[in-house]
Amino acid sequence: MTVDYKAIAKDYADKYMEDLFTYLRYETVSAQGREIPETANFVRDTIIEAGGESEILGDLGGHPVVYGYFKAGANGNSDKTLLFYNHYDVQPEDPIDEWKTNPFEPTVVDGKIVARGVSDNKANFMSRIVAVKAIQDTEGGLPCNVKFFVEGEEEIGSPNIDKYLENYADKFSADACIWESGSKDSEERMVISAGVKGIAYFEASVVSADIDIHSSQAAVIDNGAWRLVHALATLRDVDNNITVDGFKEMRTEPTDVEKASVAAFPYNEAATIDTYGLKHPLITDGLDYSAQEALILYPTMTISGLLSGYTGQGTKTVLPRKAMAKIDVRLVPGYEPKTVYDVLRKHFDNHGFKDVDLELLTGVKPFRTDISDPFTEQVINSAKEVYGEENVILELNSAGTGPMYGFGKYLNVPILGAGTGWVESGAHAPNENIRVEDYYQGVEHIIQLLHTFGGE
């Protein structure tokens, strides 16, 4: 008899929708330490109420990690364990005046659930819990063992995650891992990602004098703003080529299989321009590689913020003594955060900017799963059962960042990402959202995957 997983997924997603809404009401902003213990307790209790075992691990510092375990049913494969990685923390809700609803009061608008953290990453966690609950209730047990690793520091760079992975490697041991998230692209195709870029995030600052100075002295005195602007201008040229000495040489050349995977990955440049309302062409128009190659195979060099001088209403004629910039460098294999710091420091020094102070605020290494691993086919095939044969694509790695490297190092598992987002989810932005129909499909995909994984 054919089981209607689609109907089961919708039924259980609706049945436990209020649990998702309760989860979304927790203001779990890790950067500000808001409601961390309360949310960790909620995650633990949710796992237990779904029939699993759970405990909060907080002995190694930082925000606690929540462990969850569900044993395979009597007819399941107790030799196979699938691990889910999620995080319960979210980004700050700023700018609050751009939200159309209360960011921490989930609201359904035009078929979309709007709330901070719904896309990144709370709905993905709940979709997995709902899938587990649905299988247990309708079939009497799971087709394999299931574990959860749910942390509370992903949005601040997961500074303590490797300690927990190393210390609790046996506890979280598994055969494969599903990553925190995934989403549909502009063509409504589900993108399954096999890796992540890393990140090195810096603060660069200059102090040029003891006090701010009347701007009439600009005839003879430099200022912090100009010093920093000139320093930043050495990082990338007008054609958007990264010009940091020794930077490009660090990149590991992709394999032929990886290059072929990227070449086959569809990318709609016009849709990107339309989605974000871009006022300029894509920066890859001036580079010797494509947009999809840039997103997957190449590092970035980005100014994420600038602060200096007077920016209030009206005028104030002043030479600012201080200037600060945030620099976001996304990493691909071959790059490590500390090595990137060393290269940037040397670059500034060699270009006459020893006065630019450089601090590495957070660093995460890149990671890619070997896409020839059988788990890749299992995830792809189970997704096709839900989204359709032509509506699932494999991405070598996402353009974003997460702490995947430690899972590969300490647990030695293949890792793939799948989830409930879509191209306009707006993670980290005001009015973050997912579509209710995508949530239903996310639950259904996990149900399909657990059967596929447990049966092979």
Domain boundary pick from 364, 383, 405: 364
Domain boundary pick from 364, 383, 409: 364
Domain boundary pick from 342, 364, 386: 364
The full DSSP string for 354-367 is: TTSEEEEEEEE--E
- Cβ atoms within 10 Å, residue 363: 22
pLDDT, position 120: 97
Residues 215 and 191 grouped into a single domain:
no
Residue 303 pLDDT more than 70?
yes
Which CA distances in Å does 270 have to 186, 267, 275, 283, 294?
10, 9, 9, 13, 16
pLDDT, position 1: 59
Tell me how long the chain is. 456
Residue 232 pLDDT more than 80?
yes
pLDDT, position 275: 86
Which residues span the domain enclosing 371?
5-197+366-455
* CA dist., res. 355 & res. 373, Å (int): 49
CATH classification at residue 113: 3.40.630.10
pLDDT, position 384: 98
pLDDT, position 456: 58
Contact yes or no for 200/157 (Cβ under 8 A) = no
User: Is 318 part of a structural domain of the chain?
Assistant: yes
For 7-20, the pLDDT digits (tens) are 999 999 999 999 99
Mean predicted lDDT score pLDDT of the chain: 97
User: Is 441 part of a structural domain of the chain?
Assistant: yes
Strand partners, 379: none
User: Is 290 part of a structural domain of the chain?
Assistant: no
pLDDT, position 383: 99
Residues 83 and 202 grouped into a single domain:
no
Residues 180 and 219 grouped into a single domain:
no
* CA dist., res. 180 & res. 87, Å (int): 7
When divided into structural domains, the chain yields a total of 2
CATH classification at residue 342: 3.30.70.360
Beta sheet of 302-308, edge-to-edge order: 302-308, 322-331, 198-207, 357-364
Contact yes or no for 105/27 (Cβ under 8 A) = no
pLDDT, position 174: 99
User: Helices 17-25 and 5-15, interaxial angle, to 10°?
Assistant: 50
Q: Is the dihedral of CA 323, 324, 329, 334 positive or negative?
A: positive
pLDDT, position 157: 86
Q: Which amino acid is at 171?
A: K
Cβ contacts of 59 within 8 Å, gap of 6 or more: none
Percent of the chain exceeding pLDDT 70 equals 100
Residue 316 pLDDT more than 90?
yes
Residue 286 pLDDT more than 90?
no
* CA dist., res. 383 & res. 192, Å (int): 9
* CA dist., res. 237 & res. 107, Å (int): 44
pLDDT, position 230: 98
386-52-81 Cα angle (round to 5) = 60
Beta strand spans in 29-182 (E): 53-57, 65-70, 72-87, 107-109, 112-114, 142-151, 176-179
User: Is 418 part of a structural domain of the chain?
Assistant: yes
If we measure between CA atoms, which residue out of 137, 140, 146, 96 comes closest to residue 116?
A: 96
- Please report where in the chains the tokens 């009061």 appear, as a residue: 105
pLDDT, position 445: 99
For 148-195, the pLDDT digits (tens) are 999 999 999 899 999 999 999 999 999 999 999 899 999 999 999 999
Whether the predicted model's global pTM rises above the 0.85 cut: yes
User: Is 326 part of a structural domain of the chain?
Assistant: yes
User: Is 277 part of a structural domain of the chain?
Assistant: no
Alpha helices in 330-427 (DSSP H): 337-350, 374-387, 404-411
- At 2, the pLDDT band (50, 70, 90 cuts) reads confident
For 363-403, the pLDDT digits (tens) are 999 999 999 999 999 999 999 999 999 999 999 999 999 99
Residues 17 and 151 grouped into a single domain:
yes
Q: Return the H-helix or E-strand segment holding 24.
A: helix 17-25
- Cβ atoms within 10 Å, residue 218: 14
Distance, CA of 23 to chain centre: 19
User: Is 47 part of a structural domain of the chain?
Assistant: yes
Instruction: Compute and round to an integer the Cα radius of gyration of the chain.
Output: 23
Residues 335 and 411 grouped into a single domain:
no
Average the pLDDT over 226-253 and give the result: 97
